[in-house]
Amino acid sequence: MVEQSRHDDILVLTIHNPPVNAFSPGVPEGLKAGLSAAAADDRIAAVVLIGGGRTFVAGADIKTFGLPREQAPDLRGTVQQLDAFPKPTVAALHGTALGGGLELALACSYRVAVPDARLGLPEVKLGVLPGAGGTQRLPRVVGAQKALDMMLSGAPIQATEAKELGLVDDLIEGGLLEGALAFARRVAAVRPLPRISERAVDGGSPEVFAAAREAIKKTHRGQLSPSLIIDLAEMAVNRPFEEGWQAEAQKFMEARESPQSRGLRHLFFTERESAKIPGLGKDTPLLDIRRVGVIGAGTMGGGIAMNFLNAGLPVTIVETTEEALDRGLGVIRRNYESSAKKGRLSADDVERRMALLTPSLDMGDLKDADLIIEAVFEDMGVKKDIFTRLDALAKDGAILATNTSTLDVNEIAAVTSRPEQVIGLHFFSPANVMKLLEIVRAENTSDTVLATCMALAKKIGKVGVVVGVCDGFVGNRMVHRYGEEARRLVDEGASPADVDAAMNALGLPMGPFQMTDMAGLDIGYAIRVHRARQRGEPEPDGWLDRIVKTGRKGQKTGGGIYDYDETRRPRPNADMQALIEAYRAEKGITPRSISADEITRRLTGTLINEGARILDEGIAQRAGDIDVIYIYGYGFPAYRGGPMHYAGEQGLQKVVDALKQYGHTPAPLLERLAREGKTFADFDRERANSSQK
Ligand code: T1G
């Protein structure tokens, strides 16, 4: 775990705990032994701390958070030993020095780093806070404002910036160890030893903290750890180090035990699990994707193309008319130029990406593409025609993907002679922004095509989740039920604003009706009509369908359920409220007041219930996958861990009881788990164990 090696009068302690040198059990013991040996040996003048493999310490071992304090790796104790160490200590940083890793480095006398190393305190992303001195030392090095920015965003900075801030003492070009040894020899005799804990904080005015408290009301609405971080950073300014150090330990435990931290830690691991496809070995061969074709330059096609351009892959984009092509390219260019205006891209970046984009009116130009993604009108006939033509022109081995959001991928694959090459890649609008990618595994999709698309998802910065073929796959199937229950709540007496407010309070940025108005009421209406026809049912005629028939389609027509001013804030519309009241009267419904608690329980209950059915049918591999989908695709608050994790926090039996109370039939799997006192995490573990046998 921690290797000791002597280089003349310098002792090097190398931490070996792949893959990211997390501070796992064994690491503190090894460091303490090494430091004690160095302190006792007069021939040792200084100590260098360095990470083996690809990185320095990437933080505390998140897997140990659930352990009782006495069993958890003693990061604070190690930090204290470093802070009190009587000889110079030099942290040599490469890869990522994050969380507890940076806190170890901050307790050293000096820090040196290779220029592309990254340093950060991302604990807020796990619902906790730097718990080994970070809230007290970082402000003493970089000042209050920068420390708050780093700790509240959780975003790392590059070592070059850290050098400018004084967080790193020297940048090492060439060999890190050699550079660190040379640095250690230069400082071996320097006394007194520099200790960050003895410094004061620059720039910690009350206004800085007041502004931070105001900002987190929007950026971290409803979350606990950001306000604790601000309180601790303020203590670093106004109180002695020891007092802040002790307060940090107590606040860390408070945050660590919070449901929010459990939710965020669940998401951390389950998001990584979702990239692993059960039954597919790590040695599954991958296809080499060098050229991409996109059919359709509309909103979706253009956004999809941008993902590949951003990853440096050339894209040929095909439309049917010059006008549609020009419009599509114009949107892409404007998107890039808008990013450039915000400083996210340089002008050269924009041109480099646009240069990778080849417009075409001829699908024959896709004959050399390794991956072709169809993103045209959501009509089975149109898609079948396109795949028939692709089958005739695409090169052998090309992946043929559809971006359909609800249609049967097996039916599309069946028109080709190569169904093993056909897959669904369901991007979410705006496709160049939303991180979720539902990877739809059709009956005949080959393992290689599936594994290639999962690897490609990571390459283009998407969170890929494998789903099966059904109407709506996972996310849209769940949101369909959610929308039905939301409309039912309004039938019974809640106003659309009541429903949205309840879900906003749960942490969703948009409630169901705000979301419907943004997506366009006509979209949902067309799906409801399509489904009714498929089932041979009468045309839908609910209150929302009647709003659509008035011609109000949502934000895009200036108003739908709500009116919208120039700031796009939703405001109730009296005529729509009257339409709803008339509908209830016509249906003989006596409206009742409905509490936010009932709204929340019913809407989350329908999501959980549909998720349980999806799981039972094998459309999703894991409950965790459903959580990832619903957080990244539909705005479920990450700190609640997703609907299936949230069910466990509520208690599955309570979910079952609420479903029955409001006239729903609980899914058999949900009832079984509730009866057995289990959670969906237990289910995922059971399924993983059984698939390994
Ligand atoms: N603990 C345990 N496992 C970890 C881990 C960690 N800190 N970081 C990564 N892993 C696992 C991960 O689950 C995956 O496992 C494998 O390593 C590769 O990860 C007291 C309390 C470092 C940027 O939050 O941001 O310190 O799936 O796929 O894309 O103040 O991992 O292979 O089985 O993400 O190259 C603070 C979290 C902890 C950093 C590398 N530190 N990690 O990204 O690989 S809290 C963090 C990352 C703390 C102290 C507090 C990234 C990475 P598996 P990966 P990557």
> In the predicted model, is pLDDT for residue 352 greater than 70?
yes
Torsion of CA 226, 230, 232, 234, to 10 degrees: 180
The single residue of 3, 70, 123, 420 carrying the catalytic annotation is 123
Neighbouring CB atoms inside 10 A of 186's CB total 14
Q: What is the DSSP string of 420-461?
A: GGEEEEEE-SSTTT--EEEEE--TT--HHHHHHHHHHHHHTT
Q: How far apart are CA 463 and CA 279, in angstroms?
A: 19
Q: Where in the chain is the domain with CATH 1.10.1040.50?
A: 494-587
The segment(s) of the chain belonging to CATH 3.40.50.720 are: 292-461
Residue 248 is a catalytic residue: no
Burial of 635-664, coded b for 16+ CB within 10 Å and e otherwise, reads ebbbbbbbbbbbbbebebeebbebbeebeb
Q: What is the 3-state secondary structure (H, E, C) of 493-506?
A: CCCHHHHHHHHHHH
DSSP element (H, E) containing 46: strand 46-51
Mean pLDDT of 359-367: 97
Tell me the pLDDT tens digit for each residue of 419-455: 999 999 999 989 999 999 999 999 999 999 999 999 9
User: pLDDT at residue 692 above 80?
Assistant: no
Q: What size, in residues, is the chain?
A: 693
Distance from residue 24's CA to the centre of ligand 1 (Å): 11
Mean of pLDDT over the chain: 95
Cα(156) to centroid of ligand 1, in Å? Answer: 13
Q: Identify the three-state secondary structure at position 170.
A: strand
For residue 333, give every residue at least 6 positions away whose Cβ sits within 8 Å of its Cβ, in sequence order, or none: 350, 354
- Whole-number Å distance, alpha carbon 270 to ligand 1 midpoint, is 12
pLDDT score of 222: 86
537 DSSP assignment: P
Per-residue DSSP letter, 192: S
Placement of tokens 């083996």 in the chain: 52
Alpha carbon nearest to ligand 1 atom 34, residue: 272
Question: Which residues are 295's β-sheet partners?
Answer: 318, 374
Residues framing ligand 1 (Cβ under 6 A): 19-20, 22, 58-63, 75, 96, 98-100, 103, 122-123, 126, 128, 130-132, 134, 269, 272
pLDDT band at 329 (very low <50, low <70, confident <90, very high): very high
**241-256 helix and 259-273 helix, angle to the nearest 10 degrees:** 70
pLDDT of 691: 76
**Does residue 309 or residue 520 have the better pLDDT?**
309
- Model's pTM, two decimal places? 0.94
Task: Calculate what percentage of the chain has a pLDDT beyond 90.
Answer: 90
Question: For residue 693, what pLDDT band results from cuts at 50, 70 and 90?
Answer: low
β-sheet bridge partners, residue 465: 438
- Tell me how crowded residue 11 is: count the other CB atoms within 10 A of its CB: 25
The matching CATH number, chosen from 1.20.1300.10, 3.20.20.70, 1.20.1050.90, 1.10.1040.50, for 494-587 is 1.10.1040.50
**Residue 282 banded pLDDT, cuts 50, 70, 90:** confident
Say how many Å lie between the first and final Cα of the chain, rounded: 31
The pLDDT score that the predictor gives to residue 66 is: 82
Candidates 29, 103, 214, 242; catalytic one: 103
Going by CA atoms, what residue is nearest to atom 43 of ligand 1? 20
Query: pLDDT tens digit string along 586-607?
Result: 999 999 999 999 999 999 999 9
Across residues 193-215, what is the average pLDDT?
93
pLDDT at 473 > cutoff 90: yes
Asked whether the CA dihedral 459, 412, 443, 364 is positive or negative, the reply is negative
CA quadruple 383, 388, 394, 397: dihedral positive or negative?
positive
> At 295, is the secondary structure helix, strand, or coil?
strand
Question: In 61-175, where does DSSP find H-type helix?
Answer: 75-83, 100-107, 134-142, 144-153, 159-165
Topology of domain 2-257, CATH = 2-enoyl-CoA Hydratase; Chain A, domain 1 (3.90.226)
CATH class of the domain defined by 292-461: alpha beta
**Please, which pLDDT band fits residue 530 given cuts at 50, 70 and 90?**
confident
Cβ–Cβ < 8 Å for 147, 233: yes
CA 262–ligand 1 middle distance (angstroms): 16
Q: Which of 676, 687, 677, 673 is nearest to 612 (CA)?
A: 673
ipTM of the complex: 0.98
Best mutation site among 62, 229, 267, 462 for ligand 1, i.e. most ligand atoms within 8 A of its Cβ? 62
CA of 61 to the centre of ligand 1 (A): 8
Annotation says 257 is catalytic: no
pLDDT value at position 527? Answer: 85
The predicted model gives 319-342 an average pLDDT of 95
Nearest CA to ligand 1 atom 51: 58
**Residue 201: per-residue pLDDT:** 84
531: pLDDT strictly greater than 90 = no
Given the structure tokens 């007290």, which residue do they identify?
136
Cis before 192? omega within 30: yes
Our mutation pick for probing the ligand 1 site, out of 15, 17, 20, 93, counting the most ligand atoms within 8 A of Cβ, is 20
- Has residue 566 got a pLDDT over 90? no
